[in-house]
């Protein structure tokens, strides 16, 4: 039997919720109806060591609940979970030694102290030998461009510098698996690039497993696989190219025309956007090769044009819209 970094089988989770009444007398408003809400519904998947997986879904899809179960913060109400061979909520201490967690909204640094104090604290918590700690410090400070930052008080750092230091504190003990929850939210572009580069380097060098939850589409580019959740269920689990291929028969054509009123653009595809003399169309790949489309591009009113594949953000929105239609 193959060893998996994460093995999730038929996992379910319920939460007790209360219905708040907005009308009626004070007495009836205080009489709240209690019900159970299902956050996860028979979720199953496996992740091999060294994979970078993007766990995606709209708000309320169950992503945060699943991450909390995998890290041992919550327990599953049904099903089976193994992370690095451990049941997370019963063997939390053993698992924590091999786990890293990066929370975009919550840091591990001390606001009024330099970041190096947090790094020293992590060295003690995870019992990292001094020479190995020095070697890892040198590596992370260089790759994350923190060599002139880490001795400063955290409150004097930019958000990007704080996030990179927070990431470094979470992976300094060389964990086998790392959960990244919105790791680049509000972070400047150079810091985002540095964080993504470090993730891919750690995966290549140490076969570190990364599970990434994010709403920032650019972050998904480092993932080899995408797991999509909707209403607590897995609705897609495959490679990123497979997801892109689901709606990959479309292309976006941006036309700049001198007299847009003279052309009936709907003949060629769906009109996505109009802005003055710019018109953006969604066109099938087969339509691009037709004589009528070539004739459109050669019209004297067409000053310039650009053809591009739809971005991942567009594809995800298409996927969600498809799910919504199926539930009606």
List the one residue out of 27, 48, 54 whose CA is nearest residue 243. 54
Whole-structure pTM value: 0.79
Mean of all residue pLDDT scores within the chain: 87
- Does residue 288 sit within a domain? yes
As a whole number of angstroms, the distance between CA 128 and CA 140 comes to: 15
As a whole number of angstroms, the distance between CA 148 and CA 273 comes to: 46
- Does residue 21 sit within a domain? yes
> In this structure, are 21 and 48 located in the same domain?
yes
Sheet of 278-284, strands arranged across: 270-275, 278-284, 250-257, 302-308
30-70 pLDDT per residue, tens: 666 777 788 899 999 999 999 999 999 888 888 889 999 99
> In this structure, are 207 and 60 located in the same domain?
yes
> In this structure, are 116 and 144 located in the same domain?
yes
> In this structure, are 197 and 290 located in the same domain?
no
- Count of C-beta atoms within a 10 Å radius of residue 48: 14
- Does residue 317 sit within a domain? no
- Does residue 131 sit within a domain? yes
Instruction: For residue 264, give the CATH number of its domain.
Output: 3.30.70
Q: Both tokens of residue 78?
A: 């049904």
* 24 pLDDT tier (thresholds 50, 70, 90): low
Q: Domains in the chain: how many in total?
A: 2
Can you tell me the mean pLDDT for 92-116?
86
114-143 pLDDT per residue, tens: 999 999 999 999 999 999 999 999 999 999
Burial (CB count within 10 angstroms: exposed 0-12, middle 13-18, buried 19+), residue 216: middle
Rg for the chain (alpha carbons), in Å? 25
145-156 pLDDT per residue, tens: 999 999 999 999
Q: How far is CA 141 from the centre of its chain?
A: 25
> In this structure, are 239 and 274 located in the same domain?
no
Main-chain dihedrals φ then ψ at residue 54, nearest 5 degrees:
-95, 120
75 lies in which domain range?
6-244
Instruction: For residue 93, give the CATH number of its domain.
Output: 3.40.50.300
List the one residue out of 200, 181, 212, 177 whose CA is nearest residue 85. 177
> In this structure, are 109 and 224 located in the same domain?
yes
Please count the residues of the chain. Answer: 328
66-96 pLDDT per residue, tens: 999 999 999 999 999 999 999 999 999 999 9
Main-chain dihedrals φ then ψ at residue 274, nearest 5 degrees:
-130, 130
- Does residue 328 sit within a domain? no
> In this structure, are 184 and 112 located in the same domain?
yes
> In this structure, are 170 and 92 located in the same domain?
yes
- Does residue 325 sit within a domain? no
- Does residue 124 sit within a domain? yes
| Among candidate residues 195, 218, 244, the one where a domain is terminated | 244
Q: What is the pLDDT of residue 286?
A: 84
- Does residue 320 sit within a domain? no
List the one residue out of 123, 125, 45 whose CA is nearest residue 80. 45
> In this structure, are 225 and 305 located in the same domain?
no
List the one residue out of 2, 4, 11, 87 whose CA is nearest residue 42. 11
> In this structure, are 143 and 264 located in the same domain?
no
> In this structure, are 124 and 212 located in the same domain?
yes
């Amino acid at each position: 039997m193959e060893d998996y970094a994460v093995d999730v089988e038929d996992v379910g989770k319920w939460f007790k919720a209360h219905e708040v009444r907005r009308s009626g007398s004070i007495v009836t408003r205080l009489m709240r109806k209690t019900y159970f809400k299902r956050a996860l519904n028979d979720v199953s998947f496996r992740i091999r060591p060294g994979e970078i997986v993007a766990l995606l879904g709209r708000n309320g899809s169950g992503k945060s609940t699943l991450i909390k179960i995998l890290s041992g913060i919550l327990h599953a109400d049904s099903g089976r979970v193994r992370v690095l061979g451990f049941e997370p909520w019963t063997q939390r201490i053993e698992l924590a030694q091999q786990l890293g967690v990066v929370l975009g909204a919550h840091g591990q640094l001390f606001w009024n102290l330099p970041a190096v104090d947090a790094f020293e604290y992590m060295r003690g918590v995870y019992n990292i030998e001094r020479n190995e700690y020095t070697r890892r410090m040198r590596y992370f400070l260089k790759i994350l461009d923190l060599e002139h930052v880490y001795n400063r008080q955290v409150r004097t750092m930019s958000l990007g510098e704080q996030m990179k230091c927070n990431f470094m504190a979470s992976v300094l003990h060389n964990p086998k698996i790392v959960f990244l929850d919105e790791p680049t939210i509000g972070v400047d572009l150079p810091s985002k690039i540095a964080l993504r580069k470090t993730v891919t380097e750690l995966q290549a060098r140490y076969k570190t497993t990364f599970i990434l939850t994010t709403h920032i589409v650019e972050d998904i580019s480092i993932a080899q696989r995408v797991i999509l959740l909707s209403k607590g269920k897995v609705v897609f689990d495959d490679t990123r190219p497979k997801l892109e291929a689901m709606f990959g028969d479309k292309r976006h054509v941006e036309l700049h025309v001198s007299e847009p009123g003279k052309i009936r653009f709907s003949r060629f595809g769906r009109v996505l956007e109009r802005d003055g003399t710019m018109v953006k169309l969604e066109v099938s790949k087969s339509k691009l090769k037709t004589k009528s489309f070539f004739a459109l591009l050669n019209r004297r009113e067409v000053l310039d044009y650009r053809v591009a594949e739809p971005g991942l953000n567009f594809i995800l929105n298409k996927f969600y819209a498809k799910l919504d239609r199926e539930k009606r």
